[in-house]
Amino acid sequence: MNTKMKGRDFLSTNDWTTEELEMLLDVAFDLKKQKALGIPHHLLDDKTLFMLFRDKSTRTRNSTEAAMTQLGGHAHYLTEEAVQISHGDTEKEMGIILSRYGHGIAIRDDIYLGVGHNYMTNVAKYADIPVISLESDFDHPCQMMADVMTVKEKFHNEIRGRKFVMSWAYAPSYAKPMAVAQGTVMMMPRFGMDVTLAIPPEFALQPEAMEIAQKNAEEAGVKFEVTNDMDTAMEGADIIEAKSWGCFMTTRDLKESQEIAKKHSDWILDERRLNLAKKNAIYMHPLPADRNFEVTDAVIDGPHSVVYDEAENRLHTVKAILALTM
């Protein structure tokens, strides 16, 4: 395989071959070991990453910023208010000018369907340095790499044939992006896992993501199933990710989405449902979670939950992405 990743964008896992994603994971495991041993790994000395956040973040911002520091470089934290987007800086200005100053651009733009992925793709068109998605409306590729790393760790690398359940769950806080659900159904089949998507009827994913998930499952010789019954989905599950998203394929109105979600407030991952899964099943959530709505405290704080290891792996995987591409 071609190991030359320098200059490559990372806007969706779909843009990288499975071999390349596996290599990225190898690098992440290596960097995780080096950090544990206290071995410095200044692979990006004097390099600059511009991070543009058009939404809030705890894990993504801090793991990416810490990653740049630990790799010997520096990350600028930019927000919509801090730059001149509202005064006329288009994707062309952002792509060309930031390319003249530094070595990588990372963008979070995940709130509005049809906006974020297009914005990043346009910046990437003009940038001659890598552009990395820190979550769009379409995919959350950095989260996906942390998630598959966590699954590999928890099942001692034996992940082929595992049943991965991506379930919608009720959250009163806000209409969350679909990126994690879409990223999961699109990517996990490529690592040999059977994927079940459990959704109330109004919470369908984008047709493009569903088509990619189906194609990837066929190519990998695994199953991709959809059910409207959360209990049925849990039966025999090895990995459960129960989290909320807005019903953007039903309505673009965020308030209406939350009203529709209320009808399904019984979609919660509790101990009864967890007991329908395999005995050694793991519970994942990218966080932040609406505790006792999406998932009970007993589950998220219980022995099956791997959410903090999953959050830690955001650091090791983004380091691998930055070190390979910048």
Q: Print the binding letters for residues 88-127 with ligand CP: x by CB under 6 A, - otherwise.
A: ----------------------------------------
Among 21, 286, 295, 319, binds ligand CP (CB under 6 A): 286
| Cβ-based nearer residue to ligand CP, 146 or 233 | 146
| Residue 58 touching ligand CP (CB under 6 A) | yes
Q: Dig out the tokens for 317 from the structure.
A: 């995987």
How many residues touch ligand CP (CB under 6 A)? 8
Interface stretch with ligand CP, choices 9-17, 53-61, 77-85, 150-158 (CB under 6 A): 53-61
Q: Give the whole-angstrom CA distance, residue 41 versus residue 242.
A: 35
Distance from C-alpha of 138 to C-alpha of 129, rounded to nearest angstrom: 22
Q: Are 162 and 193 in contact (CB under 8 A)?
A: yes
| Subset of residues 143 to 202 that bind ligand CP, contact rule: CB under 6 A | 143
For ligand CP, which is the closer residue by CB, 43 or 269?
Answer: 269
Q: For residue 313, count CB atoms less than 10 angstroms from its CB and return exposed for 0-12, middle for 13-18, buried for 19 or more.
A: buried
Minimum Å gap between C-beta 313 and ligand CP is 11
d(CA 28, CA 43): 13
Vertex 240 angle, CA 277 and 269, to 5°: 80
Give me the helix-helix angle, 18-37 and 141-154, nearest 10°: 70
**Residue among 12, 13, 48, 60 that touches ligand CP (CB under 6 A):** 60
**Can residue 141 be called a binding residue for ligand CP (CB under 6 A)?**
no
Q: What is d(CA 294, CA 243) in angstroms, rounded to the nearest whole number?
A: 6
DSSP string, 197-256: EE--GGGPPPHHHHHHHHHHHHHHT--EEEES-HHHHHTT-SEEEEE----TTT-S-HHH
By CB under 6 A, residue 135 contacts ligand CP: yes
Least separation in angstroms between residue 59's CB and ligand CP is 4
Segment contacting ligand CP (CB under 6 A): 2-10, 54-62, 266-274, 295-303?
A: 54-62
Q: How far is the CB of 153 from ligand CP (least distance, A)?
A: 17
Q: Is 34 in the site for ligand CP (CB under 6 A)?
A: no
Strands 74-79 and 104-109: unpaired
Q: Tell me which residues touch ligand CP (CB under 6 A).
A: 57-60, 135, 143, 286-287
